[in-house]
Chain A
Amino acid sequence: MKGMDKPVKYAYFPGCKIPHHLPEYGQSVETVCAALGIELVPLEFNCCGWPMRHDNELASIFSAVRNFAVAEEAGLPILTPCKCCFGNLKYAESRLAEDGKLVVLVGRLLAQDGLAMPKSINVSHLLSVLDEQVGVELLQRQTATPLAGVKVACHYGCHALRPGNVTGFDDPLAPTLFERVVTALGAETVDWDLRLECCGHPLRGRDGVIAESLMRKKLENAASVGADIIATACTYCQLQFDKERDGLMLNDPLRKAPPAVLVTQLIGTALGLDASVLGMEKNCIPWRVPVLQDRTL
């Protein structure tokens, strides 16, 4: 299997939740990137700052900017598979650009750690790298077992998409990036009303009722349009649609709603990679057998 003509190299920013709470994402990201010729360099980053943004903006921004400084010392752009990490890193970038006082404050904190204010900031979400660096053509070429007939509901996730002028991810009202990537694997994408809505995970632990209602609405909507699976490209969204959903009552019909699949597991499957290297057995709501058994794989 061959990757891109020119290998691309990124500082890998998995974020805090992958190692313990969603190792299958880390595993499948690393496997798939290696297969596609994306070199991921592990650096010791700290938290992106998103979880603490509810408490203290300065802590959140400093946390984010410290990562930029670490990446700049290594001379690498950052790649993150988590949309909340991506969103907060971009938010910090935008805040630095608009607030000179903040730059001074953060610069002082960086200096305490022996770091310098980064001159350039370069952060990408995995999906953008797949779309722009790898490209749809290469994904198509490398697809060994096309996911023909699999109906995928792409779940965009909020923090990469909005606010569009901060994240610059895709058209915030009419995005097409995720569908482009999934279609390249031979799968079919479905249009669904709640495609761009929130998964509800950010409210876990803060307002459980709304967190679950949001999850229900989305799952019901995806089911009603005949999706086989919901594709995610964000640690928190997957946690919500897989791990948190697994906490529902055993007889809850939503357990039967389309299972959530990490985009890297989907790509890995299309590339013909083994289920075990994609961490598939760790998914709480299994998808590979129920969804793919009738298809030629």
Chain B
Amino acid sequence: MNFFDIGFIIASVVCAVGIVRRLARWCGKPTSEVSVSSLSWHRRLFLALKIFFLEILLLGRTCRTGRIRWLAHCLVFFGFMGLLLFHAMDDTITARFFPAYESTLDPWQFLRNLFGGMTLIGLALMVYRRVRLRSLRSLTRFQDWAVLLVVGGIILSGFLLEASKIMSPAVFDVMVYDYFIPEDGSDITALKAVWAKKYGVVFPEEISDSDDVFENGLSLNEDSCVDCHSDTTSAFISRPLASALHPLAPALNRSRADEVFWYLHISLCLIALAALPFGKFFHPLTTPANLMARLGRRDAAKDDVPSPAIRGLGIDACTRCGECSLHCSVGPAFSVLGNSNILPSEKLISLKGFESEASLSGQALEAFAEGSRICTECLRCTDICPSGINLQDLWMASKKAVSKVAPDSNQAIRLMEISERAAPFGECSLPPISGLADNKESYLACVQCTTCTSVCPVVAVSEDPSRDLDLLPQQIMNLLRMGLKEQTLGARMVWSCTTCYKCQEHCPQNIRVADVLYELRNTVATRLREGECADERDG
């Protein structure tokens, strides 16, 4: 058992356990009402093929959200997949289909550089996008950088490994020892001359550059090496990298950088394998699966209510590309309130927490509840999601669930006893909102004529207004003009206002009754979210 085998076993076990846990979480949810669109099997097959080619292979959905992002993703997707299939899994795949496979032969050497290069450019574009877009930058979390770092690290360490091997005399010596039988002492020197000049090995000693020696070296090289070694110039990234590192070569060679980079490269690959079922690392599996499960739909129609397992898959299919948040209809609310749970990509993370056994509590729960509440279910995130997640369905389902455990200000007031409602925030000293309700001039002209109450349709349909609404509009105005705002905040009239503006329109004294009621609701909402008053009440 060597380092690789032990590492591979550990990483595989972590990965397998992680995947099983994920699957268990998806399938462990109680079954709910599910409806499946009635499609014929051949229609489904056709759609599945279409999705496979257009959405999974060609990343069609990503293309809808932006050319650069699509390009970046294609580069990483094809580059990394290429490396994974023919390079990382060369024993199982490449060698089977190409018996003459050697990693140092072209086209493999060239392809490795090509795919690695593609991946790196793609990753660079991704980093640029995350840094460039202010709103995206602020949403970027550890896991986003982690994926970029690990994948980028794999590729970079790979290039460094290749470059260090190119210049390494130690590697040369091992190869010579294993595969070359020198006829006399000058053969080694000759071969060294060729490998130093043509392949880029940096030897510690002075290498002869006479033509005779080089000619001899070439023929030796022809006989013993070229069957397994293409010219390293086809390693169009690693070779220039090796040249660039030339000044450092002696030091690197002395410290066996090739081995260091090998350990680094392999470690990063094993980390990636182990991390696969965690966070964003999982999306290369879940996103295609989810796209397939959705069969190309971008809505959340009633005929397509997913099962809990598919919901779980959807939650895990997020690539955290942030497109949903960049286009979120209530994004401006995030700008003002600063609660990232307003934005879909971030709310999804809270939803994962909410759905987990530990659930959410305290501030995290409040923030998630507020985000859920503010969502207007406009479908835009669902429509735009490059992973095809049925976010709309997730939001509509979680909205109901979270409102049960984290009441909004309206529910909070309604849950209070009459005595509590009479002055729900007696001790609070937060400043007023926009000042209508706290400004006595707002009601100076009020003659208490009861017109606002008379025209109020809510009072009209209420069976017993004083029992069900606590105070009537003109009574609220009266309390406010006497400076007794605290006694109005919990009045259910404030919360049962249907915002029809009849009171305000009909007021003979032009008092902004409905606007004042809005403001009172704002006051309570602010106090509850700031938490200060609630604490005072509880303490």
Contacts and interface: CB of A to CB of B under 8 A. Distances in A.
25 contacts: A20-B299, A51-B374, A52-B333, A54-B410, A54-B518, A55-B409, A56-B337, A56-B526, A57-B434, A57-B522, A58-B336, A59-B335, A59-B336, A62-B332, A62-B335, A109-B335, A162-B505, A172-B505, A197-B500, A198-B499, A203-B458, A203-B498, A210-B498, A211-B498, A214-B458
A258 interface: no
Given A54-B521, A163-B514, A172-B505, A158 B500 contact: yes
A159 B504 CA distance: 12
A46 interface: yes
Interface string A195-238: 01110101100110011011001000000000000000000000
Given A55-B522, A162-B500, 4 more contacts: A19-B379, A51-B374, A59-B337, A214-B458
B410 A162 contact: no
B378 A17 contact: yes
From B327, B374, B380, B500, residue with most partner A Cβ within 10 Å: B500
Contacts of A202: 498-500
B332 A63 contact: yes
Contacts of A214: 457-458, 461, 498
Contacts of A55: 370, 373-374, 409, 521-522, 525
A210 B336 contact: no
A284 to B, nearest CB: 11
A52 B336 CA distance: 11
Contacts of B376: 16-17, 47, 51
A290 to B, nearest CB: 23
A292 to B, nearest CB: 26
A158 to B, nearest CB: 4
Contacts of B410: 54, 206
A207 B330 CA distance: 24
B526 A19 contact: no
B519 interface: yes
Contacts of A141: none
A17 B377 contact: yes
A158 B379 contact: no
Given A44-B327, A162-B504, A210 B458 contact: yes
From B299, B370, B458, B525, residue with most partner A Cβ within 10 Å: B458
Contacts of A54: 409-410, 518, 521-522, 525
A164 interface: yes
B186 interface: no
From B380, B461, B502, B522, residue with most partner A Cβ within 10 Å: B461
From A62, A158, A164, residue with most partner B Cβ within 10 Å: A158
B251 interface: no
Interface in A152-170: 158-159, 161-164
B451 interface: no
Contact of A16 (B329, B335, B501): B329
Nearest to A64: B332
A44 B498 CA distance: 29
B232 interface: no
A196 B373 CA distance: 29
Nearest to A206: B410
Interface in B151-202: none
B433 interface: yes
Contacts of A172: 505
Contacts of B335: 59, 62, 109, 112-113
A146 B492 CA distance: 47
B281 interface: no
Given A16-B329, A162-B500, A197 B374 contact: no
A268 interface: no
A19 B336 contact: no
Given A158-B499, A158-B501, A57 B332 contact: no
Contact of A163 (B496, B504, B521): B504
Interface string B315-331: 00000000000011111
A58 B525 CA distance: 13
Contacts of B355: none
Given A17-B376, A20-B392, A109-B336, A52 B521 contact: no
The 7 A-B residue pairs with the shortest CB-CB distance, nearest first, are A16-B378, A162-B501, A16-B376, A198-B500, A213-B461, A158-B500, A59-B336
B208 interface: no
B87 to A, nearest CB: 42
From B134, B378, B495, residue with most partner A Cβ within 10 Å: B378
A122 B300 CA distance: 33
A210 B332 contact: no
A66 interface: yes
A9 interface: no
Interface residues of B, number: 51
Interface in B393-427: 409-410
Given A20-B377, A47-B378, A210-B461, A57 B496 contact: no
Contact of B495 (A19, A47, A53, A207): A207
Given A20-B377, A20-B379, A59 B333 contact: yes
Contact of A203 (B379, B496, B525): B496
Given A49-B332, A56-B336, A197-B457, A16 B377 contact: yes
Given A54-B518, A162-B502, A46 B462 contact: no
B495 A21 contact: no
A173 interface: yes
Nearest to B134: A112
B462 A210 contact: yes
Interface string B497-515: 0111110110000001010
Given A16-B378, A20-B300, A56-B336, A198 B433 contact: no
Nearest to A20: B379
A186 B526 CA distance: 51
A155 to B, nearest CB: 12
A20 B382 CA distance: 10
Interface in A244-269: none
A59 B461 contact: no
A206 B379 contact: no
Contacts of B505: 162-164, 172-173
Interface string B457-471: 110111000000000
Interface in A173-210: 173, 196-198, 200, 202-203, 206-207, 210
Nearest to A108: B335
A59 B498 CA distance: 20
Contacts of A164: 505
A19 B519 contact: no
Interface string B358-390: 000000000000100110111110010000000
B332 A109 contact: yes
Contact of A52 (B330, B379, B498, B500): B330
Nearest to B501: A162
From A53, A55, A113, residue with most partner B Cβ within 10 Å: A55
Contacts of B433: 57
A89 to B, nearest CB: 13
A139 to B, nearest CB: 28
A153 B159 CA distance: 75
A94 B197 CA distance: 78
Contacts of B333: 47, 52, 56, 59, 63
A177 B327 CA distance: 36
From B327, B379, B498, residue with most partner A Cβ within 10 Å: B498
Nearest to B502: A162
